[in-house]
Each structure stands twice: as structure tokens, then as C-alpha cells.
Amino acid sequence: MLRKNFAVNAVKRSTLGNPALLTVIASLSLAPQLASADTIASSLSNTTSTVGVSNTLWAASSFTTGYQSWQLTNVTLSLGQAGTSPGLADVRLFSDNAGQVGVSLADLGVRTITGPQSQLWSFQASTDIELAPNTTYWIAVGNVSPDQYLSVDLVLNLPFTFTGAGAVSMAFSGASGVGSGANPPAAFGPSGPGSALPFQADGTATSVPEPGPLAILFLGSAAFLVFPRPPRPSGA
């Protein structure tokens, strides 16, 4: 018993006498947990119709982030080769301008689309793309082939379903525009309820989570060491 009390008192003295150690304990307990890649929003489960898109035509649909901020890692769409020649698809992230497609924020790259229709193609973000919370963004795909058609899957009829993380929302609406080569349109046509471009956006949540149970345990232990239990009054 004496040896046990001596060890406990030694821990109290070493901790109370070392503010740096208390700082380390607090910082470790408050450190956010490592985030993993997740699906931000997806509408790929919808029944789609295949539409041939000629050179310079673009299609876009929107989604709105919830209470979390995200780092966008990749976007997946259902595309295919139309005809005998491969097509070139360019996928971009756009801002929102009062419910319409705004300006191009990031280019997720151009891929050569080959093979049959309705295949899933993923476009990886080569740079950090931060998505702010409670903000609407548009995903757009354009056919930038010199003279080939591109097969694009669109949702043309209700019902429209989607899944999302952190209160993310998606709308059954789309917009289209005509660009020039690899350049996106200067303005998209009005969005409406007639079609939607199904896609899946994946990323990593960058919001700092609340301290977990282990953090609370660390803080409780530190508080116990800093504020020891007062002695009982005599006669209690």
C-alpha cells in the first residue's frame, strides 16, 4: 500500500510540476481523429438514359454541401464511347450563381472514353480542392473531342434519388452549354427539372470533430491531477 501511494503521489508531483506535460496531454486529447475518404454525394443509382453528346457540348448538375467542409478527391460519371471512335471527356467543378452554373473552379482532367456505353469513369483531383460548408457546386462534363460523339448517361425521368453525407443535398436539375474545344461555356443554359447529370463526388471531411471518449478521459484525468479532491473536514 505504501509503495502504491508513493507511485501515485510521484505521478501527481511530476505532472503538476511540468506544465509542458499537461499541454501535451491536452493537445493529444483535443486532436481531431484521422479522417477517411467518404462519399460526399451520389446519384449514380438512378435509372438513366444514354444521350449522344457532340463536340463542344457540356452538361452539368449541382449538389449542396451540408454542415461539413470537404476536400474533393474524385468525381465519377457514367460515360461511354459513341460510335467507332473514342471520345474525350472533360470534367470540371463550377461555382453556383443564384441557382445557375457560375465560374469554373477546378478542372479534374480530360480522359479518353473508350468501350461500350454506361461505364463508370473516375476523374481524380490533381490539386487540393476545398468545398466550403453549406455551399452549392456544379459538376460539369463536356465533350472536347475534335469530331467524335460522347455517350453520356442522364436522368430524364423521376423519381430522382441520391445519397449524401453530412446533410448534403442534390436537385433534379441540369444545365447545358456550348464551349469551344477544351474551354467550358461562358454561360450555361437555364437549369430546370427536365434532366440531371448523375455523378458521385468523393472526398475527405476537413471539419474538426468533437473530442471523442478517449479525449474526454484524458481531460478528466488531467483535471483530477490539477485539482485534487479536497480533504474531508474533521468530524465528517
Residue 4 has pLDDT above 50, yes or no: no
- Average pLDDT of the chain is 80
3-state secondary structure the chain: CHHHHHHHHHHHHHHHCCHHHHHHHHHHHHCCCCCCEEEEEECCCCCCEEEEECCCEEEEEEEECCCCCEEEEEEEEEEEEECCCCEEEEEEEEEEECCEEEEEEEEEEEEEECCCCCEEEEEEEEEEEEECCCCEEEEEEEECCCCCEEEEEEECCCCCCCEECCCCEECCCEEEEECECCECCCCCCCCECCCECCEEEEEEECCCCCCCHHHHHHHHHHHHHHCCCCCCCCCC
pLDDT value of position 228: 55
- Residue 181, pLDDT score: 75
In this prediction, what percent of the chain has a pLDDT beyond 70? 71
Q: What is the largest CA-CA distance in the chain?
A: 96
Higher pLDDT, residue 136 or 56: 136
| Overall average pLDDT of the 33-53 stretch | 85
Contact indicator for 203, 73 with CB cutoff of 8 Å: yes
Cα gap 110→69, rounded to integer Å? 26
What's the whole-number mean pLDDT along residues 62-73? 96
What local confidence, expressed as pLDDT, does residue 114 receive?
93
Please give the average per-residue pLDDT across 87-91, as a whole number.
94
Q: 209 pLDDT exceeds 90?
A: no
Look at residue 29 in the predicted model and tell me its pLDDT. 43
Q: Is the pLDDT of residue 205 over 90?
A: yes
- Which of the pair, 20 or 126, is modelled with greater confidence? 126
pLDDT for position 192: 65
Where is pLDDT greater, at 73 or 21?
A: 73
Residue 210 has pLDDT above 60, yes or no: no
For residues 25 and 140, the model is more confident at 140
Average pLDDT over residues 53-60: 91
Query: Average of pLDDT values for 192-217?
Result: 73
With a cut of 90, say whether residue 79 has pLDDT above it: yes
What the chain holds in terms of domains, given with CATH numbers, is: 2-32+210-226 (no CATH), 37-205 (2.60.120.820)
State the pTM of this model: 0.74
* pLDDT for residue 159 is more than 90: no
Predicted confidence band of residue 182 (pLDDT cuts 50, 70, 90) = confident
Is residue 130 very low, low, confident or very high in pLDDT (cuts 50, 70, 90)? very high
Look at residue 194 in the predicted model and tell me its pLDDT.
78
